[in-house]
Amino acid sequence: MKMSLIVRTTTKLVSPFLVVYSTYLMMYGHLSPGGGFQAGVILAVSIILLITSHGYKKVRKTFKFWEVQLIEGVSGVFLVSLGIISLLFGGFFFNFLRGGSFGSLLSGGIVPLFNIGVALKVGAAFTFMFYILLRWVEHD
């Protein structure tokens, strides 16, 4: 089903702002409400909006299946590596990056890195699940 021109145009305008907001939540999740999971969901919603308004085949050319799968896998490996490296420094997800001043972007230690990893994992996983569901619908 093809969406109207208004829906397609609005989605094209809104999706970049959702990506920017998701990036903001990834970076500042340790300083303000929000975090990696919320950022990942918003990131996935921006892609799912494009898919529902423009169609799976058109969006699939830009956001390829294997790229989403790769981002999901690499972010999972990154999170596990972060936990293992932290274990070497004193505990599971131990905050080994000290320093910074209160309220600044680099004051969170490994928390911003963890937020970025979780956001990419969640965003790619939701997009990946949506792709799989659409493949199943295409074959039906």
Q: Each residue of 82-115: pLDDT tens digit?
A: 999 999 988 888 887 776 677 777 777 888 899 9
- Do residues 3 and 53 make contact, with C-beta atoms less than 8 angstroms apart? yes
Q: Residue 114: which of 20, 21, 36 has the closest Cα?
A: 36
**Distance separating alpha carbons of residues 13 and 117, to the nearest angstrom:** 26
Comparison of pLDDT for 132 and 34, the residue scoring more: 132
Amino acid at residue number 88: L
By mean pLDDT, which of 4-18, 21-35, 87-101, 118-132 is the weakest?
87-101
pLDDT tens track for 28-67: 887 777 789 999 999 999 999 998 898 888 888 888 889 9
Q: Which residues contact 107 (CB under 8 A, 6 or more apart)?
A: 30, 31, 99, 100, 101
